[in-house]
Chains A and B, each alone.
Chain A
Amino acid sequence: MHISDGILSTPILIGGACVAAAGVAQGLRKIEDNDIPKTALLTAAFFVASLVHVRIGPTSAHLILNGMAGILLGWAAFPALLIGLLFQALLFGHGGISVLGVNTVAIAVPAVGAGLMFRRMVHRETSPRRIALMAGLGAGLCIAATALFSAAVLALSGRAWLRTAWVLLVAHVFVMAGEAVLAYFIAAYLLRVRPALLLGRPLAA
């Protein structure tokens, strides 16, 4: 999910950049020195996964996985997703430099929210099925929030973009379903292979 350069109005771009800077600063504060390799490798892994195109209904879309990033990285998802967007902009020309802030806010704020929510909800949960469902739910809500935010900033940038905002919202209904299902299966896999990664504790008490 990335809005291109040149579309959004200046106040929105500035606002987005400020919020993104604050979020990244908070994320960086939460990263210990020993966590840097882990965060960096996960950043790269999520970026590589986002290059995967899947078929959703009649078209194809690439994975976003911001919900999963939030669940695994917590606050560190903020700088991680910023770097992902930076790579997208520099290596492929998707998204853009001036919209980096807004796009980061659009995908990282829901991601961090999903991560915090997930941690709270699975606090004492032992059923793998229910934990995986929560991950799926979190990822789905995450895409919904991302799409709503992106559509809102488009609509706020001028009446001309209202129609585009609607199209974006409708398209993301499919993306949301796909990401939710995928997050469910990723979580189910991780719970089977190494639950501590997802929960920070062993599965059974």
Chain B
Amino acid sequence: MIGQPDQTRFRFKPDPRALILGVGLWTILFVLMQTPRALALAGGLALILAKAVGASWRTLIRRMAALNALLIFLLPLMAVESFALSAWPWRLAPDRLILFAAVALRANAILILAQGLVGAMDMATLGHALVHLRCPPKLAHLIVFSARYLDLLRHEWNRLYRAARMRGFRMSIGLRTWRVLGALVGGLLLRSLDRAERVLYAMKCRGYQGRFFMLHHFRYTAADAVFVLTLALAGGIVIWLDRM
């Protein structure tokens, strides 16, 4: 299912708020770092952290594969000195190569961090944690609500699409494809709006007055404090290394 947690066993389970804070803090650090050396070290730390919280290798590698395919496509575009015919054989500029290394390491490090720490969280927990972190409640509600219906609407789409295929629809380049796609997407939008109306009525019947009550409260333990502190300390060391 989309938006559901990986089926991995959690060894150390920090407070979701601590995880979100950690990701936010370290993402800012990654953006500020410039040298490939410091970024590589920080990326390694992020990987250890992600594994410690229970991210699975398979998901991490799959996500990283997509990112790195894009990066490989970007490498010649940004790093080749000149694509002029007279400049053949085309050479990579050394300074651009260093910049590219920094970009690639940074992108991978942020991906590992976000995927490993927050990606394994289910959306309900994420929304809860966001509310407790003083995120605007409406935004958190929207996140939880749309995450809840993501999978349902995907099935709705599959149903519509399968019905079209049964009637001989094939994706091609012609105008007819677009016409059918327009009707399919339109149908999806219409169905989701009808569903929203039913959901609203059902919620009103159950006393909805514009806010959700948070039944689940997180407990911030000493282990979490140590976790955040370690993150901050490690971040400080890496930044110092970057500036050296």
Contact = CB atoms under 8 A, between A and B. Distances in A.
Contact of A54 (B104, B115, B171): B171
Interface string A18-47: 000000110010010110111111111101
Nearest to A191: B186
A85 B143 CA distance: 11
Given A92-B63, A92-B66, A186 B182 contact: yes
Contacts of B30: 5-6, 98
Interface string A79-120: 110010011011111101110000000000000000000000
Contact of A42 (B103, B138, B152, B189): B189
B138 to A, nearest CB: 5
B193 A41 contact: yes
A163 to B, nearest CB: 5
Interface stretch (B46-54, B105-113, B231-239): B105-113
A121 interface: no
A90 B146 CA distance: 14
Contacts of A92: 63, 66
A28 B135 CA distance: 12
A6 to B, nearest CB: 3
A17 B242 CA distance: 24
B contact face: mostly helix, strand, loop, or mixed: helix
Closest 5 CB pairs of A and B: A185-B182, A33-B210, A40-B145, A93-B63, A6-B106
Interface of B: 2-3, 23, 27-28, 30-32, 63-64, 66-67, 70-71, 74, 77-79, 96, 99-100, 102-108, 110-111, 113-115, 118-119, 126, 136, 138-139, 141-143, 145-150, 152-154, 156-157, 171-173, 175, 177-179, 181-183, 185-190, 192-193, 195-197, 199-200, 203, 209-211
Given A65-B185, A93-B114, A94-B66, 19 more contacts: A5-B110, A6-B105, A28-B136, A33-B209, A34-B210, A36-B138, A36-B141, A40-B149, A41-B153, A45-B189, A55-B173, A68-B189, A89-B114, A93-B64, A93-B66, A98-B110, A161-B78, A193-B190, A197-B189
